[in-house]
Amino acid sequence: MPEGESFNGPTDVVWDSQGNIYVADGVARTRIAKYDSEGRFITNFAAPGAANISGMQIDAQNNLYVADYGNQRIVVVNSQNGQQIREMRGFGSPMAICISPAPNQFLYVSNSNPPDNLEVGGEIYKVRLDGTIVGRFGTVGKRVGQFGTVNAIDCRVENDLLVGEVGNWRVQRVTLR
């Protein structure tokens, strides 16, 4: 951070292929801080109009995908200059996102319900990087295959997700067919 500044609610951290580090200061300031691979501050930028940056991911072209829970959208940003490339909607309130490994990259997006409301949301969407929804699964709840406030998704292994749920205090392994 620049001299005299600090984080106020960091929510995620990701690295690009050059080793640059991106920290989402997503709760109060809704900004992204960029550092080089040695940890030296480069710049701050924000997804335009962001209300709550809850998660980030980087694709194979170093585009930054920003989950804006407060505005119910994913914003794709050029990681070099912070300029918005596109906006994707239609997944409810995305809290957790994950991009699968190349060459066939997909974005997994949680429609995370508020922790105090197990009546709405709960789905996980499988999305092409252009924003086209190709599938979804799950419902809100506490049973196996149901989700309660998904706050983390790991998709490093093709067709195998680890889904962290702060609302249900657990991690589920989901195998996609």
Sheet holding 31-35, edge to edge: 12-15, 21-25, 31-35, 41-45
Say if strands 146-147 and 139-140 run parallel, antiparallel, or are unpaired. Answer: parallel
For residue 36, what are the contacts with CB-CB under 8 A and spacing of at least 6?
A: 19, 20, 21, 42
- Label residue 117 by pLDDT band (50, 70, 90): low
In this prediction, residue 144 carries a pLDDT of 93
Between the two ends of the chain, the Cα-to-Cα distance in Å is 44
Q: State the pTM of this model.
A: 0.91
Residue 6 domain-assigned (yes or no): no
How far apart (Å, rounded) are the C-alpha atoms in residues 104 and 90? 22
| Contact assessment for residue 25 and residue 10, using Cβ atoms and an 8 Å cutoff | yes
Number of domains present in the structure of the chain: 1
Task: Identify residue 64 by its one-letter amino acid code.
Answer: L
Q: Which helix (H) or strand (E) holds 39?
A: none
* Residue 20 falls inside a structural domain: no
Q: Does residue 4 sit within a domain?
A: no
- Answer yes or no: is 53 within a domain: no
* 67 assigned to some structural domain: no
Domain for residue 71, yes or no?
no
Assigned domain for 119 exists: yes
Pairs from 143-147 (Cβ < 8 Å, separation ≥ 24) = 144/172, 145/172, 145/174, 146/122, 147/110, 147/122, 147/123, 147/172
Query: Is 73 within the bounds of a domain?
Result: no
Q: Is pLDDT at 152 greater than 70 in this prediction?
A: yes
The torsion defined by the Cα of 128, 19, 14 and 5, in degrees rounded to 10, comes to -140
Question: What is the mean predicted confidence (pLDDT) over 88-117?
Answer: 88
pLDDT (tens digit per residue) in 42-95: 999 876 677 788 899 999 999 999 999 888 999 999 999 889 999 999 998 899
**1 pLDDT more than 80:** no
- Give residue 51's pLDDT: 77
Phi, psi of 70 (to 5 degrees): -65, -30
How high is the pLDDT of residue 132?
96
Q: What is the pLDDT of residue 8?
A: 81
The predicted pLDDT at position 118 comes to 66
> Which tokens in the block code for residue 7?
């984080």
Beta bridge partners of 66: 56, 75
Q: Which domain holds residue 152?
A: 90-175
